Amino acid sequence: MTWWYHLSALGGLNVTALLAVAIAAWLVGARCWRLALAWCLLFGAALFIAAASQMAFLGWGIGLRSLEFTGFSGHATRAAAVFPVALFLLLERRGLRREDRRSETRPGGQDRRGGSWLRAGFLLTVLAGAVLAVAVAIARVKVGAHSASEAAAGCLLGLACAGLFIARTRAARDRSPQPLLLGLLAATMLLPRADPANSHQWLTAAALKLSGSDRVWLRNGWQPARGPYVPPCAPSRRRFGVLCT
């Protein structure tokens, strides 16, 4: 079971948030302002949907009981959004330049066979990122953090974000500062495998404040907890009665 926890942690904020920032920095460095803005908006929207769905259940009990769905998995959403995009950007600059050189050496234009191999390589690269994201989603189920429906929904949400962005990446190919993202991608693999902060606890605190309730909804029994919510930290670290700092 230990390796499931390590795989699950790849969707944590300390990995995926850093990669998301690296992608934005990559595009800003390439002076692709609109693509950088598009990435920030798409990734931000995916995070907002995932967080809002979890808060809706914690504070108001909104979900699908028949599917055991209490909100999109944040880990699965983030992993599916950043890994395909990051892996795609790592290869797309080099691949396009090779393709351009082939087309210049051919009297009739592009080398169809070479172009096909390059397109297949891009597809496999993005697919590898998607497979890694699916593995993270499965790990979230294996460690008991989410139900299958929550992990699958989060993965689909993140993949939709990645797919929409990749469809708009054509203009960024020539000038992408490849070493920047490559370095940050390697750095994420060396980070501790635990989140620097318990993001779920922050969502719980926000849901309680917005709903005006002192207890959270529980998946077991699909009803509010019997007693008021107690933050999982020492009293000296509690703020506003519901938040650990």
Query: Tell me: the pLDDT tens digits for 125-169?
Result: 889 999 999 999 999 999 999 999 999 999 999 999 999 998 887
Lowest mean pLDDT among 30-44, 91-105, 184-198, 214-228: 91-105
| pLDDT for 98 | 44
Query: Distance of CA 78 to CAs 15, 152, 190, Å?
Result: 9, 12, 18
Q: Is the pLDDT of residue 177 over 90?
A: no
Q: Is the pLDDT of residue 219 over 50?
A: yes
42: CB partners within 8 A, 6+ apart = 81, 161, 164, 165
- Global confidence as pTM: 0.83
**Residue 230 — very low, low, confident or very high, per pLDDT cuts 50/70/90?**
confident
Query: Distance of CA 166 to CAs 111, 126, 174, Å?
Result: 24, 9, 15
Using an 8 Å Cβ cutoff, are 8 and 75 in contact?
yes
| pLDDT for 35 | 87
Q: What is the rounded distance in angstroms from the CA atom of residue 142 to the CA atom of residue 140?
A: 6
Of 103 and 116, more confident: 116
Give 53-76 pLDDT, tens digit per residue: 999 999 999 999 999 999 999 999
Helix (H), strand (E) at residue 226: none
Average pLDDT over residues 85-105: 59
Q: Is the pLDDT of residue 100 over 90?
A: no
**Residue 112 — very low, low, confident or very high, per pLDDT cuts 50/70/90?**
low
Helices 13-29 and 178-189, axial angle in degrees (round to 10): 170
Domains in the chain: boundaries? 2-195, 197-245
Q: Which of 38, 22, 25, 82 is nearest to 171 (CA)?
A: 38
Q: Which of 132, 17, 137 is nearest to 73 (CA)?
A: 137
